[in-house]
């Protein structure tokens, strides 16, 4: 009887540790606000993400007008790292793609953006979920 009780307690303990150690499912849905640094200044951003049929989709808007509600592409979440691409452009700059990599910590994501192309511009980016 004692042996069965000890085994039961051990099993519950091991299952409890496994449940505590298993990763929480991250829900990215919502409105995220923050900034991207570019050439010494901060460009305010709004990123809206929603999950439809298990797949995230989103749009990003900035105050400088580089991204007037453009679609987020190739969005991938691996553990706590979110990556996505933004296609932009203007007559002055031509077409370009920006690669974004952000690390999630609760309701905040921090990371970098990098513009593909000749200039290879890069900068910091930080967003927080609006409540």
Domain-located, residue 24: no
Res 123 pLDDT > 70? yes
- 120: region left, alpha or beta (phi > 0 left; psi from -120 to 50 alpha): left
**Portion of the chain with pLDDT greater than 70, in percent:** 76
Predicted confidence at residue 47, as pLDDT, reads 95
Bigger pLDDT: 20 vs 65: 65
pLDDT tens digit sequence for 22-53: 445 778 899 999 999 988 889 999 999 998 88
How many domains does the chain divide into? Answer: 1
- For 95-121, b/e burial (b = at least 16 CB within 10 A) is ebebebebebeeeebebebebeeeeee
CA distance between the termini of the chain: 52
Q: Say whether pTM exceeds 0.85.
A: no
CA 47 – CA 38 distance, rounded (Å): 17
Domain-located, residue 91: yes
Structural domain including 38 reads 30-129
What CATH number is associated with residue 119?
Answer: 2.40.128.120
Bigger pLDDT: 74 vs 18: 74
Spatial contact of 98 and 113, defined as CB atoms under 8 Å apart: yes
């Amino acid at each position: 009887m004692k042996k069965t009780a000890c085994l039961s307690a051990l099993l519950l303990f091991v299952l409890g540790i496994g449940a505590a150690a298993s990763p929480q499912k991250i829900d990215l849905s919502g409105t995220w606000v923050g900034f991207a640094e570019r050439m010494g200044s901060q460009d305010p951003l709004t990123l809206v993400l929603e999950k439809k049929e298990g797949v995230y989709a989103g749009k990003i808007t900035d105050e400088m007008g580089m991204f007037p509600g453009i679609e987020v592409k190739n969005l991938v979440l691996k553990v706590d790292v979110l990556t996505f691409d933004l296609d932009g452009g203007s007559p002055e700059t031509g077409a370009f793609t920006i690669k974004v990599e952000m690390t999630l910590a609760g309701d905040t994501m921090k990371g970098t953006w990098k513009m593909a192309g000749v200039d290879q511009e890069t900068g910091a980016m930080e967003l927080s979920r609006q409540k």
